[in-house]
């Protein structure tokens, strides 16, 4: 009888090793890993990185601090994320007040492209304004500050580029947004743009350049019916199986 009890205890102990709960492990913020071994999928781990939409919406954009500071925020967006010149909006505003037409700036409660040109010249950069057509923007290889007139209000935004009939804009007040070429052409004020060139011998940082992952900031109404779903790979099938089974909670962060 004693031997039988010992056998049962040994079996329970052995089984406990199989069913023991794994201690949660820390992962980098926003990264989750789903081991497929729990689902019979073999020795495979799918890493998934998540980024809040609120952060993606304003990624590589300096948000304007005031209603009238779209010009300075657009300027600093290009300085920081395209050229790698790290100044903040307050410094740019003070610089444009010092180098620009101060009385006119105060009167109109905003900055002009001429104020921007004088300021960037004072920090060793070259800025120039141009008149252009839509066809010129389609060949543009660097971001530009453009004025738009939307709803009767003047506003400065950063034109990142045009791809497949979609104009990608970094807006200091609204974040990463898109227009159709026809919409942008209606709102583009006086076909003007302002381009800042890097200092001699320096390569731009280039964070405002369009990438192959721009879908996350496109209005979904523009892509409905145009997206193509390719055949799922084995990795994607395993990931889908993990999500559907609830294994996504296997790893977690400790607060």
So which residues are the catalytic ones? 70
User: What region does 61 belong to: left with phi over 0, alpha with psi -120 to 50, or beta?
Assistant: beta
CA-closest candidate to residue 35, choices 46, 48, 27, 50: 46
Query: 3-class SS at 77?
Result: helix
Q: Specify the DSSP element, H or E, that contains 177.
A: strand 175-180
Based on C-alpha coordinates, what's the Rg of the chain? 27
- Torsions phi, psi of 203, nearest 5? -90, 140
State the Cα–Cα distance between residues 69 and 239, nearest whole angstrom. Answer: 45
Question: Do 63 and 77 form a contact (C-beta atoms < 8 A)?
Answer: no
- DSSP letters, 94-129, are HHHHHHS-HHHHHHHTS--HHHHHHHHHHTT-EEEE
Counting runs of H as helices and runs of E as strands, what totals does the chain give?
Answer: 9, 8
> What strand order describes the sheet that includes 144-150?
126-131, 192-197, 144-150, 153-163, 166-171, 175-180
């Amino acid at each position: 009888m004693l031997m039988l009890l010992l056998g049962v205890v040994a079996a329970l102990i052995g089984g406990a090793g199989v069913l023991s709960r794994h201690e949660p492990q820390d992962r980098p913020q926003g990264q989750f890993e789903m081991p497929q071994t729990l689902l019979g999928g073999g020795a495979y781990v799918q890493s998934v990185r998540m980024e809040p939409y609120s952060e993606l919406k304003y990624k590589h954009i300096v948000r304007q601090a005031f209603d009238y500071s779209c010009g300075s925020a657009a300027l600093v967006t290009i300085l920081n994320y395209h050229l790698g010149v790290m100044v903040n909006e307050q410094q740019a505003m003070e610089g444009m007040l010092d180098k620009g037409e101060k009385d006119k700036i105060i009167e109109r409660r905003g900055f002009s492209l001429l104020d921007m040109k004088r300021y960037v010249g004072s920090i060793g950069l070259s800025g120039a304004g141009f008149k252009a057509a839509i066809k010129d923007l389609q060949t543009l290889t660097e971001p530009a500050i453009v004025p738009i007139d939307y709803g009767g209000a003047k506003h400065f935004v950063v034109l990142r580029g045009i791809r497949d009939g979609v104009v990608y804009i970094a807006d200091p007040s609204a974040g990463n947004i898109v227009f159709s070429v026809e919409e942008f052409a209606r709102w583009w004020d006086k076909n003007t743009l302002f381009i800042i060139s890097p200092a001699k011998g320096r390569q731009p940082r280039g964070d405002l350049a369009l990438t192959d992952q721009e879908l996350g900031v496109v209005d979904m109404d523009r892509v409905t019916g145009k997206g193509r779903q390719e055949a799922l790979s084995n990795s994607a099938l395993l990931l889908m199986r993990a999500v559907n089974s609830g294994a996504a909670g296997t790893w977690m962060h400790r607060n």
